[in-house]
Amino acid sequence: MSDETIRQIRSFIFENFLFDAADEDLKNDDSFLEQGVIDSTGVLELVDWLEESFGISVDDEELMPENLDSVNNLTRFIAKKLMADS
Amino acid sequence: MCGIAGYFSIASESTLGRYVLEKMIYPVTHRGPDGLGFYVGDGVGFAHARLSIVDLEGGWQPIHNEDKRLWVVFNGEIFNYIELRRELEELGHRFYTNSDTEVIVHLYEEEKEKCLDKLNGQFAIALYDSHEETLFLARDRMGIRPFFYTIHKGVFYFASEVKSLFASDKAIPREIDSSVLKEIFTFWTPCGSETVFRGIHQLEPGCCANVSCNGGIQIREYWDIPFGAAGSHNERRNANSYAEELRELLVDSVRLRLRADVPVGAYLSGGLDSSAITSLVRHYTDNPLKTFSVTFDDSVYDEQAEQAEMVRYLATDHHVEHCTYEKIGQTFPDVIWHTETPILRTAPTPLYLLSSLVQRKNYKVVLTGEGADEILGGYDIFKEAKIRAFIKRNADSHIRPLLLKRLYPYLALSPTKSAEYARKFFDTDASEDELFYAHLPRWRTTRGTEIFFSDRLKEEGRNLLEKLEEKYAGKLEGLDYFSRAQYLESKLLLGNYLLSSQGDRMAMAHSIEGRFPFLDHRVVEYACTIPPELRMKVLNEKNILKKAMVTLLPPKIVQRKKQPYMAPDILSFFGAKEADYLDFYLASRAVRDAGFFNPKAVGRLVDKCRKKSRQGFRENMAFVGILSTQIIYEKFVRNFQIDFPQRLDNIKIIS
């Protein structure tokens, strides 16, 4: 499940925020903010996608870097949310 | 108000003559549709396209002094020409017209380039002294009227618009300057005298120049925005006293700007600034009031309710241009023909449509509220800086970052839902002593657009911040961070973008002259004396202006939350009907041929736009920037074309 989630996340990030970057340009623990991958409005696009693709709802208080700011953080966050829902 | 063009041989024996002047002036006849005038001297030539506003019968240019030693072409207005003329007549000068233009030649005779200190106006001037064989050039203090020039094969060419320069001689190189393109994709505008076209320069606001065969071009800054050093303001004077004097100055500025031999209208956005100007016209003059507004479908951009409130309050004869997404998309390429530079926002487009409405109503002149945000402290970027500094003072507070949330409520895309993110996005750990403190977060976001650059572009150019620092560090020395932010916003955004791409170019495209009461230099100089903490009191923007206007506006307008003027960007091109030219400019081959962007990345961006999902700041700016760059490349570089008629039959020629 986790590998598949990582693949999905990476594919979403590359398609929507990195456009034509090479795969090695983003490591799974790179901070989206520090690498300039996502700006302030990009976070909300990311949330839209999470809600749509995984059927999870993201609360305002969950909008924080430790949940959303890297591929690894996102993977953990999605797993946690899906677990809580099931 | 007009278009000007001309040449001056500085190291060339060639005589260019009238035909070259006709080729130069013809592409800017939208600036002056009422008739053309020419002057051809020895190695020098002037052309003028006139929009008649003052002295309709007699004010044709070029204009000369008594002995025809001095000749001038001029685009703009000298608002205090009546007072200046009186002084000059007392000194014995004889006038042959009733125009404001003629004041310039006589005043120059008296004072040489010091004449600029006496001019209250908006102007681009070219004056030829036939005895000295020198050319004197000047541009108004804030950059309201444009002035471009280039040197080619020993000839100095100048004009109101770049297209005139390219039309003068096909051999003049037409190339995009990659390093300037990169500046635009960070600062929204070029940051110096360079334009996006290599070798084409603008005379910067507040500058004048002498051009001669021996000396080349000598440029001098004759005025700059005088924000005083931190602590130099009179702290004992109270806000009401500042407000009262501001109102008096604005009344006088408005009065001067209603001087015209044609009726003067006003733009009314529904915001504080244009409402203030319109109200001053209503309360302090007997000018009949025709007002003009844009409206949008989308409530994020629309201000109809506030406009209606003002129209009721002032009982104006009001006219509306409704801007749909499709209209903005369809018009955009024409807009870029007039901006002559890539832009990252579509916001000029509705103003292009609005000036067309004004033209259809047979008006030639409008007052606008431009400039108040810069000089009186209105922008969110100033507020943002204040909040960031406030957060830093108590870095452990979880409450203070929430202030950022209050700052951008009008955005569907709130960037500040999370305090934690807010602190990161707005870099609240930075020190306010940082030279560009207020602007760095915005520039960083904008610079994110460079992921679309081609490899060639990515590698080229120098460090942008270093260049900016070289240019402005001296100017910003000693200023507090709030004044530094205002100064930069006035120089970069106002001077190089709002007054040109969104101001002069959009209005003149339909032969409309804008006038800007907030940019009377007396108002600007006065605003700089107001202590920064009174300009924005805590987080109350334009505090002194609000106080000055409180009895002259409905409370709702004074108290309303500021809504920045914006137009839909990506949405304008991908509505119910996609703009039909997108493929022409953005197809992989077109992008590769131009060479500035990565075709694959652009293709993916277009795909993303088509999905009509939520788009961030970066994608919106990138899309509009890429499209406008491609249009500039096509229309000005690859396929520059002016359909010059065999004879200028349809145009009245005066001289």
Residue (of B306, B249, B259, B309) closest to B280 by Cα position: B249
B-chain residues near A43 (CB < 8 A): 415, 421
Residue B411's closest CA among B215, B655, B614?
Answer: B614
Does residue B210 lie in a domain region? yes
Question: B34 with B159, same domain?
Answer: yes
- Predicted local confidence at residue B418, as pLDDT: 60
Q: Residue B410 has what pLDDT?
A: 40
Q: Do B251 and B208 belong to one domain? A: no
Residue window 6-65, chain A: list those with CB within 8 Å of chain B: 15-16, 18-21, 33, 36, 38-45, 48, 60-61, 63-65
Spatial separation of the C-alpha atoms in residues B591 and B595, rounded to whole Å: 6
pLDDT per residue as tens digits for the range A11-38: 999 999 999 999 999 999 999 988 889 8
B423 located within any domain: no
Cβ within 8 Å, pair B424-A65? yes
Domains of chain A: 2-85 (1.10.1200.10)
CATH of the domain at B507: 3.40.50.620
Going through B101-215 in order, the beta strands assigned E by DSSP cover: 121-129, 134-139, 148-152, 155-159, 201-202, 207-212
Beta-carbon neighbour count of residue B29 at 10 Å?
19
Are A20 and B600 an interchain contact pair (Cβ–Cβ within 8 Å)? yes
Give the chain B residue whose CA is nearest to the CA of A39.
B445
- The Cα of B419 is separated from the nearest Cα of chain A by a number of Å equal to 8
Measured in angstroms, the CA of A49 and the nearest CA of chain B are apart by 10
Residue B650: the pLDDT is 59
Distance between CA atoms of residues B592 and B273, nearest Å: 44
Q: B520: domain range? A: 239-375+489-559
Does residue B467 sit within a domain? no
- B119 with B191, same domain? yes
Radius of gyration of chain A (CA): 12
Cβ neighbours of residue A43 under 8 Å, at least 6 residues apart? A63, A68, B415, B421
B613–A48 CB contact, under 8 Å: yes
Q: Which of B559, B587, B611 is the last residue of a domain?
A: B559
Q: Do B417 and A63 touch (CB under 8 A)?
A: yes
Residue among B418, B604, B616 whose CB faces A42 most closely? B616
The number of domains in chain B is 3
pLDDT at B408: 66
Instruction: Of B514, B493, B510, B508, give the one whose Cα is nearest residue B122.
Output: B514
Starting from the edge strand earliest in sequence, which strands make up the sheet with B70-78, in order? Answer: B63-64, B70-78, B121-129, B134-139, B207-212, B216-221
Partners of B176 in the beta sheet?
B197
Task: State whether A33 and B424 contact (CB < 8 Å).
Answer: yes
Residues 6+ apart with CB under 8 A from B246: B523, B526, B527, B530, B544, B545, B548
Q: State whether B176 and B322 are in the same domain.
A: no
Residues from chain B contacting residue A44 (CB–CB below 8 Å) = 413-415, 417, 614, 616
pLDDT number for residue B409: 56
- The answer to whether position B383 is within a domain reads no
Q: Is the Cβ–Cβ distance between A47 and B480 less than 8 Å?
A: no
**B chain contacts of residue A11, beta-carbon cutoff 8 Å:** none
Looking at the structure, tell me whether residues B203 and B279 fall in a common domain.
Answer: no
In a domain, B405, yes or no: no
| Residue segments in chain B with a per-residue pLDDT below the cut of 50 | 410-415
Q: Would you call A48 and B615 a contact, using CB atoms and an 8 Å cutoff?
A: no
Do residues B141 and B270 share a domain?
Answer: no
N-to-C CA span, chain B: 18
Tens of pLDDT, residues A34-85: 888 988 778 888 988 999 999 999 887 788 888 999 999 999 999 999 988 7
Pick B451's closest partner by Cβ from A19, A42, A65.
A19
Residue B39: give its domain's CATH number: 3.60.20.10
Tell whether B395 is covered by a domain: no
Q: Which residues pair with B574 in a beta bridge?
A: B578
Say whether both B314 and B355 belong to one domain: yes
Whether B483 maps to a domain, the answer reads no
Q: Residue B24 belongs to what H/E stretch?
A: helix B18-25
What is the reported pLDDT for B404? 77
Considering only the C-alpha atoms of chain B, give the largest distance between any 2 of them, rounded to a whole number of Å: 74
- B244 plus B363 within the same structural domain: yes
Based on the fold, state whether residues B44 and B188 are members of the same structural domain. Answer: yes
Rg (CA), chain B: 24
Can you tell me the distance from the alpha carbon of B435 to that of B406, in angstroms, rounded to the nearest whole number? Answer: 26
Whether residue B244 is found in the same domain as residue B197: no
Burial of B16 (0-12, 13-18, 19+ CB in 10 A): buried
Q: Which amino acid is at B423?
A: R
Pairs of residues, one from chain A and one from chain B, whose beta carbons lie less than 8 Å apart: 73
Distance CA B435, CA B438 (A): 9
Contact between B142 and B519 (Cβ < 8 Å): yes
Q: Are B634 and B585 in contact (CB under 8 A)?
A: yes
Output the pLDDT for position B414.
46
The helix or strand, by DSSP H or E, that contains position B216, with its residue range, turns out to be strand B216-221
